[in-house]
């Protein structure tokens, strides 16, 4: 395993040693373990337990205080493969009381947003061996609700795991990331947490990569739970774990620093007539049926008015790319895409650089509002100048 010294890394030497043990154990027995897990999963798939049996087992597990409670959430929704494979692996170990509270739909770029002053629907979900709920909200809603005591009978889990996300959360992507926000919310509530992402690439990645991602990070999860029980896991940060595109070919764990990297945002104008499925968009994102119908009605009226004006005044241009006109108001449509850009030579210890080089990047992220001394000094000088300049 490769580790690097990092200023203010907040990781005790014990955890670094555990990372080394994890890598050695993974190299020694990972292949057989992966095959055993695949065999077990194949048997599970062929046998479908009844709903009543699942419910009875869930109730028994939830009341089993002998096992540590692990809460799993994510950003992409409860049906995503990353979460499903992770929960299956945790359950198959038989060591933990596994609970799931995850969004019912994709909220992977919701950031640290919450849903205040609105009624949120929570529905039981069937995941073998786990007590699971899907929530009509964000990852932060899910974690906040799960830790509130209003949903589960326990007061606090031992660990919150957010993931496994499809796509990197390195650098500035952390601020957009729903999977990182889920782990951050747990830390805010005083619960140790991990955020896990797979560096998914469209042309290279396959669904089976999620199983490999689970296999390589599971020993680290076990080490974290062991150290939490011993009281030696870091309490001032959560860990962001970034898994390379080919998980089974990784070069080991590497302690990294958060970078300033980000993909370049690209806003594309979309034709009003080709605006992708307004109805589906609003039905999936609005929680109030009244709001859905009202918006659909407005869209239909706008389209009808545009057609009428076009018919009556053939020489008047009503529509252009990205815009539709109604009653002297222009509604424009845009779509945001992120485009990867070439990176200049960077510090090998930065998260995205280690990830590109094939390492599993482990980055401690803190809630501390501390600002570097040079930034603090520059801000102080500017404020002093501005205040005195106005007098």
DSSP H helix total and E strand total for the chain: 11, 14
3-state class (DSSP) for residue 164: strand
pLDDT score of 84: 96
The average pLDDT across 152-157 equals 89
Closest C-alpha to 271, from 318, 337, 212: 318
The first and second tokens of residue 266, run together, are 């690209």
Most confident by average pLDDT, 12-16, 148-152, 285-289? 148-152
The average pLDDT across 172-201 equals 92
pLDDT score of 55: 45
pLDDT score of 202: 83
Residue 75 — pLDDT band, cuts 50, 70, 90? very high
Q: How far from 353 is each of 15, 127, 209, 322, 344, CA to CA, in Å?
A: 22, 36, 20, 37, 10
Question: Do 362 and 240 touch, CB atoms closer than 8 A?
Answer: yes
Residue 60 or 163, more confident: 163
Is pLDDT of 305 > 50?
no
Tell me, rounded to whole angstroms, the distance of Cα 205 from its chain centroid.
18
Least confident of 108-122, 156-170, 303-317, 322-336: 303-317
Most confident by average pLDDT, 10-24, 39-53, 188-202, 326-340? 188-202
Distance between CA atoms of residues 20 and 125, nearest Å: 37
pLDDT in tens, 222-280: 999 999 999 999 888 899 999 999 999 999 999 988 877 666 777 888 887 665 544 44
pLDDT score of 391: 54
Domains of the chain with bracketed CATH: 69-266+356-371 (3.40.1210.10)
Angle between helix 208-230 and helix 81-93 axes, rounded to 10 deg: 50
What's the maximum distance between 2 C-alpha atoms anywhere in the chain?
78
* Mean pLDDT score of the chain: 76
Question: Do 164 and 243 touch, CB atoms closer than 8 A?
Answer: yes
Q: How far from 22 is each of 37, 170, 224, 376, CA to CA, in Å?
A: 18, 23, 11, 39
Distance between CA atoms of residues 348 and 341, nearest Å: 18
pLDDT score of 191: 96
Residue 175 — pLDDT band, cuts 50, 70, 90? confident
């Amino acid at each position: 395993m490769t580790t690097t010294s990092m200023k203010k890394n907040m990781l005790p030497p014990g955890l670094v040693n555990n990372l080394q043990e994890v890598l050695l154990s993974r190299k020694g027995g990972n292949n057989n373990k992966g095959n055993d897990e695949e065999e077990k999963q194949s048997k599970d798939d062929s046998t479908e337990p009844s709903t009543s049996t699942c419910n009875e087992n869930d109730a028994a597990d939830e009341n089993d205080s002998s096992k540590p409670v692990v809460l799993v959430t994510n950003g992409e929704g409860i049906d995503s493969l990353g979460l499903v494979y992770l929960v299956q692996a945790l359950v198959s170990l038989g060591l933990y009381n596994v609970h799931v509270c995850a969004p019912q739909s994709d909220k992977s770029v919701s950031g640290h947003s919450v849903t205040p002053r609105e009624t949120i629907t929570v529905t039981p979900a069937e995941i073998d061996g786990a007590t699971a709920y899907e929530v009509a909200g964000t990852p932060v809603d899910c974690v906040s609700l799960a830790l509130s005591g209003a949903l589960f009978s326990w007061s606090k889990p031992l660990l919150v795991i957010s993931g496994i996300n499809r796509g990197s959360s390195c650098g500035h992507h952390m601020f957009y990331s729903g999977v990182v926000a889920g782990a951050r919310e747990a830390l805010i509530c005083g619960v140790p947490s991990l955020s896990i992402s797979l560096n998914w690439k469209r042309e290279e990645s396959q669904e089976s990569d999620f199983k490999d991602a689970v296999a390589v990070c599971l020993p680290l999860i076990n080490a974290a739970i062991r150290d939490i029980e011993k009281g030696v896991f870091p309490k001032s940060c959560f860990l962001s774990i970034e898994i390379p595109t080919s998980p089974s070919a990784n070069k080991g764990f590497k302690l990294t620093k958060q970078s300033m990297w980000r993909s370049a945002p690209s806003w594309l104008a979309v034709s009003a007539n080709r605006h992708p499925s307004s109805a589906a968009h609003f039905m999936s994102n609005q929680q109030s049926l009244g709001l859905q119908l009202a918006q659909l009605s407005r869209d239909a009226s706008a389209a009808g008015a545009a057609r009428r004006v076009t018919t009556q005044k053939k020489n008047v241009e009503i529509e252009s790319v990205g815009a539709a006109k109604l009653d002297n108001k222009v509604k424009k449509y845009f779509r945001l895409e992120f485009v990867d850009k070439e990176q200049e030579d960077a510090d090998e210890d930065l998260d995205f650089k280690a990830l590109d080089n094939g390492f599993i990047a482990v980055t401690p992220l803190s809630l501390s509002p501390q600002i570097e001394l040079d930034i603090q000094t520059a801000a102080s000088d500017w404020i002093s100048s501005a205040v005195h300049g106005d007098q």
